[in-house]
Chains A and B, each alone.
Chain A
Amino acid sequence: MAINRSDIKRIEKLAKLKLSEEKIDDFSVRISRVFDWVDQLKEVDVEGVAPMASPLMDLQKHTTGLREDTVTDGDRVHDVIQNAPSSQHNSFVVPKVVE
């Protein structure tokens, strides 16, 4: 299945990325290859096989581990924001976004 330039532009928009013209061409070729591989997988007959939520999913045995409801984390503002390119008032600073 070929992924064309307009598909890439749509993904670009959804991911709020800005790609150069060359990158768009490059990605359409590379992502097309991924889809080709998925097309190949589609040849496998999965009639009557339930979708799998996880490779570890075995309904009788593998449920998720659960946490007890206690507060064990937080109170580490510095750790949380120290890698932010910009911060103020103990908050992350981002370009103004009002939607």
Chain B
Amino acid sequence: MSKNYVKTSTGTWEVVIGLEVHTQIKTNSKLFSGAATTFAGEPNSQVSFVDAAMPGMLPVPNKACIEQTVKTGLALNALINLVSVFDRKNYFYPDLPQGYQISQLYHPIVGPGYLEIDIDDTVKKIGIERIHIEQDAGKSVHDVMPSSSLIDLNRSGIGLMEIVTQPDIRSGEEAMEFIRKLRLLLWYLGTSDANMEEGSLRADVNISMHRPGTPFGTRAEIKNVNSIRFIGQAIEYEINRQIGLLEEGEQVVQETRLFDAAKGVTRSMRGKEDAQDYRYFPDPDLLPVILDEGFVQGLKDSLPELPDQKKKRFMESYGLSKYDASVIISDIRTPTYFESAVKNAGEKEGTAKLIANWVTTELFRVLKEESLEIDQSKIPAASLAELVNLIQDGTISGRTAKEVFLDMWTTGKPAKIIVEEKGLLQISNTSELEQLAENVIQENPDVVQKYKAGKDKLLGFFVGKMMQLTGGKANPKIVNEILVKKLSE
């Protein structure tokens, strides 16, 4: 029985979710014009006559939009349609100057594919139905003038990819993981910034409830959810709302709903009681996009190493645990830092694992405290490598290293200099430590007696004494060996 099932007093329910993800294609210029795509420019400063839909202006597709979408499709293991066609989706809204959005309904550029997500240590395949290219609309600003809205067309005509999944998702957690994984993939590919704060990635969530083993229920569509957390919350709310209706013997209405983030609820969009009729037809201003196999193959050959491949390689060639590898690959900059540190440290047994440890614990902690990205780290990869080398060759203990690390962060000095200046060199000199051990044993005959009588744990007492005498600089491994040997004499 699936753990995703929702059990109530009337029995078991299953949620069925499909996502439509709209994400801005990363390009310099718009889908059909030469205006810039930069975020937050002055109102209407990034608008050409095409974007403002001035009479007689004609769209010319941006080659990069096609390439970026095909690359995304290839990374999603999808079929690339060598012939795709632009259609007009007709509706009237003030931020849509053309009176229609140019999209691809009947012949999208990318067909079926899939994305694998990790859920509770198992891999689940989420089917991709299609990806099509379409124009973004402009922005309405409602809060500047009391009885009018302002229209800024900077966003109008920017290229979007709409990535549509199959209804394969069975929980809010799966939906959130899908978005996280997709976003990471887009970052690796460089095909979209997928920045939810700037609105460059938004999702429509289709959701329905049914009894397992019976046909799918009627779905509601929650529009434009713009954060991963909100997607989880909206789904959670919608599951309870729909179960409530169905258990009361009522019907779920097929409708568009909005997620109200402040209240954590979804509500029906007013004024949408009539089913929309978009009257799609092929855009007569545009010819079909016809690609040849060579073009697609070229893009396939240019794909970078993708998150799953990188994770696998980190586990295989550096011996990282699945967890550490997943943490390191989960943004685009950390792998570069990590690999640079490993390269600088040199290939030794356990070096990479030790570096992974330092990166994911100490380094991540200080970066988070100062809200820095890893490429702004005050400790460059090569310096971390040097610190790790000092630990590995026994120059300093792991405990001392943490102190050195913080000094490196604040002073910017290399590890070696700090160790020398502060006299933190680990004492690994056996004869020196043997003499010390002898003294400690002589001074505590009663404890020695108890130890010899079988209280093994008292070894810690002697180790502690020696650490105290050396200011924590004694090599703990050697201290242990010496003490065990001497105490058994």
Report A's interface with B, CB cutoff 8 A: 10, 13-16, 53-54, 56-57, 59, 62-77, 79-81, 86, 88-99
Contacts and interface: CB of A to CB of B under 8 A. Distances in A.
A69 B148 contact: no
Given A68-B64, A76-B48, A88-B144, 4 more contacts: A64-B60, A66-B62, A67-B60, A98-B142
B45 A77 contact: yes
Q: Which 8 A-B pairs have the closest CB atoms?
A: A72-B34, A69-B64, A63-B290, A73-B48, A91-B150, A74-B35, A73-B34, A64-B287
A94 B148 contact: yes
Nearest to B84: A53
Contacts of B287: 53-54, 56-57, 62-65
B61 A66 contact: yes
B145 to A, nearest CB: 7
B94 interface: yes
Interface string B359-374: 0000000000000000
Contacts, number: 156
Contacts of B29: 67, 69-73
B448 to A, nearest CB: 79
Nearest to A63: B290
Contacts of B153: 80, 92
B282 interface: yes
A64 B62 contact: no
B406 interface: no
B149 A95 contact: yes
Given A14-B277, A70-B34, A90 B288 contact: no
Main SS class of interface, B: loop
Nearest to B50: A73
Contact of B66 (A66, A80, A91): A66
A2 B461 CA distance: 101
Nearest to B286: A64
A66 B94 contact: no
Interface string B59-75: 01111111000000000
Contacts of B93: 97, 99
Interface in B11-25: none
B70 to A, nearest CB: 13
B397 interface: no
Contacts of B48: 73-74, 76
B269 interface: yes
Contacts of B44: 77, 80-81, 90-92
B86 to A, nearest CB: 8
Contacts of A89: 43, 144, 150
Contacts of B291: 63
A13 B29 CA distance: 35
Nearest to A84: B151
Contact of A75 (B45, B144, B148): B45
Nearest to B278: A14
Contacts of B272: 99
B36 interface: yes
Contacts of B277: 10, 14
A50 to B, nearest CB: 10
A73 B33 contact: yes
Interface in B35-59: 35-36, 42-50, 52
A97 B61 contact: no
Contact of A74 (B45, B85, B144, B150): B45
Contacts of A76: 47-48
B296 to A, nearest CB: 14
A95 B271 CA distance: 17
B92 A15 contact: yes
B435 interface: no
A92 B151 contact: yes
B141 interface: yes
Nearest to B288: A53
A94 B34 contact: no
Given A89-B144, A94-B151, A80 B49 contact: yes
